[in-house]
Structure 1
């Protein structure tokens, strides 16, 4: 045994003398988002360029939820490093103490300057700005389409099957249901779940696709299985650019902001912070926006985009003023009985949908 060790030690010494270096385990980072073409665009624009340039091994996953992150942190078995979450999930994760503080010392001064303070809070950095609104087919033999949720709910004026997100999805249908029922955009919160479910009762017979992952909903529109739906601007407009007879209506679209976070106890926290700093820079942000029509918070990124293309983004002035900002704060608040409104939201949905 001692002889074998001596031989191994001698071999290593000779290798080093010849110029070889002892092998070092490569850094690893696990990136988690919402799958489909959206996550593919993120990986192509900034995740893979970062990992390849820094010789970091990349692991990917999808389907982030508060419950999954909570379970990992409490079990002290965190497997995710950089995770995209909705604003509501972000606020819940902060409230539960499940996140690492973002190390903004890794961000260069110009990136910090180009991102508004509200988009770089203590425990997360804005990942994307996107819109959920009316997606529709353009080959239905008519030159009009639903421009409000009341019209999307009007199955006599606009007959045809619909696709809507479930109440367990990151972007539930409550706001759209209330707007369809005549609630003013500045009176959406707190959500009146009784009124929202009654509104959903009216359209439920015409909803043939309920989705809790965006990809199936958009695919149903592209394939012609549905004529209309409540869908994200980016994936619909990406399908349009690829030749599908679909389009997106920005009127009454619901504007959302997602955040990148690092779960408490992430195994590769230092690499995760460097990845966030890189992804937030102007050029990587622009590369993402070139692939899918969502907006990144870095305002310097717009200079790298074709001006006409930039007009299709949610943050374009001509689109921004037509949309309705959502707030995740409501869902993260205590409902008064120890549960968050997000938990109440899911319980209401499961009871209504199971009827």
Structure 2
């Protein structure tokens, strides 16, 4: 996702400053935390007549979505599908709606952001007469965004140092005496707040609503041991691969890649992982129309197509029926399988919809301070 989260952070900061919710000093602090990133938008694709544009996060996700979903739907529906990898952040989706220049028909977006925009009338409600709730993991068929895949925030660690007694919890992650060495965390609050609270003894089933004061106190405790707050999956891999960090909070897909790259010198665990959903989203007034967008979403619910996405990107299927089709080679990457999900906590999108702006502002200040 590289710089897409940064762009969204900047939009939030600008809004907060315009509203008078933060002062100039806090705004500048946020800019420093984000590396003064200024690319606030990307031109992206515009749908032509008879086309449907799907927005995702770029990189390997573009050919993966094309192969798993777009090509087949285009053949069956007689509607060409193009993948725009410029990143459907909350700010970008809102900007398209408010300008009336909507160029995306279906977005691969965060359900928390989607709900916040949906409550403002900017996002279509999901037509569950077309999209099948039975083909979505229980609890993830949201009003504005059905889950399309899952990913997890997990503990990655130096297996050469800790092979005899690897970390098994976030409490271990915070224990720099038993597990010496620097740490790395995401330059975004998702996953980090939950990790901090579990490290402080909050049971996984009692996390939400998140106690931000308690979480930030615990995060400050670990801050002297953070070598870097990564802002791209590639950076997180590099920090672990080069030995700059002995442990890190990584996306499970990246943790698996660095394990492969190092021949097992870096490993990872789902223990107390934080599993998050991404969801399909349709901006109101999309060029191809709501009906075509919902038909595309329904097409993508096919379990075999979701397994194809897992094999290409490591993304856990949203359709429970897909797990039985996953080969032994990919079972570890299947973060949403019953076996792997049992080790984790599911991220609460409802909480993030209501609290993400406030949490982000505070997290950026902590990272930069």
TM-score (norm 2): 0.76
Q: Answer yes or no: is the 8 Å Cα contact 2:56–2:107 preserved in 1.
A: yes
Shift of 1:134: 0.4
Task: Decide which moves more: 55-64 or 146-155.
Answer: 55-64
Aligned to 2:273: 253
Contact 2:154 2:273 in 1 (8 A): yes
Measure how far apart 1:136 and its partner are: 2.1
Partner residue in 2 for 1:230: 249
Asked whether 1:346 is paired with 2:342, we answer no
Partners of 2:162 and 2:143 lie apart in 1 by 51
1:221 aligns with 2:245: no
* Structure 1, gaps ≥5 residues long: 1-24, 334-340
Give the CA deviation at 1:280: 1.3
Could you tell me which residue of structure 1 aligns to residue 57 of structure 2? 34
SS of match in other structure, 2:85? strand
Q: Within the alignment, does 1:79 sit opposite 2:103 as a pair?
A: yes
Determine the structure 2 residue equivalent to 1:291. 312
Q: What are the Cα deviations for residues 47-78 of structure 1, in whole angstroms up to 9, with x where unaligned?
A: 34434664615141243322221121011111
SS for the counterpart of 1:342 is helix
Distance 1:190 1:301, change over 3 A: closer
Equivalent residues in 2 for 1:109-120 (5 A)? 113-116=134-137, 118-120=139-141
How far apart are the structure 2 equivalents of 1:218 and 1:36? 16
| Aligned residue in 2 for 1:336 | none
1:102 aligns with 2:126: yes
Q: How far is 1:244 from its partner?
A: 4.5
Q: How far does residue 345 in structure 1 lie from its aligned partner after superposition?
A: 0.5
Shift of 1:189: 2.5
Instruction: State how far apart, in whole Å, the 1-side matches of 2:82 and 2:263 are.
Output: 32
| Pairing partner for 1:202 from 221, 224, 241 | 221
Deviation of 1:141 (Å):
6.8
Contact 2:317-2:334 within 8 A present in 1 as well: no
CA distance in 2, matches of 1:144, 1:42: 39
Specify the alignment match of 1:317 in structure 2.
338
Q: Deviations over 1:102-158 (max 9, x none)?
A: 345555xxx654335643344322111222110223344743322111111112222
Equivalent position SS for 2:317: coil
CA contact (8 A) 1:178 1:188 kept: yes
Matches within 5 A, 1:1-355: 27-38=50-61, 40-51=63-74, 54=78, 56-104=80-128, 106=130, 113-116=134-137, 118-140=139-161, 142-167=163-188, 171-241=190-260, 244-245=263-264, 246-269=266-289, 270-307=291-328, 309-310=330-331, 312-333=333-354, 341-355=355-369
Is the 1:238–1:293 contact (alpha carbons within 8 Å) kept by the matching residues of 2? no
The 8 Å contact of residues 31 and 58 in structure 1, kept in 2 or not, is answered as yes
Listed one character per residue, the Cα deviations across residues 213-233 of structure 1 (whole Å, up to 9, x for unaligned) are: 334223432344433211122
Judged with a 3 Å threshold, the aligned counterparts in structure 2 of structure 1 residues 194 and 118 are, in CA distance, closer, same or farther, namely: closer
| Larger of the two Rg values belongs to structure | 1
| Residues 157-193 of structure 1: per-residue CA shift (max 9 Å, x gap) | 22223221123x6x25111111112222233233222
Counterparts of 2:339 and 2:191, CA distance in 1: 26
Q: 1:207 to 1:305 in 2, by over 3 A?
A: same
Q: Distance in 1 between matches of 2:346 and 2:138?
A: 17
Residues 1:122 and 1:352: Cα distance change in structure 2 (over 3 Å): closer
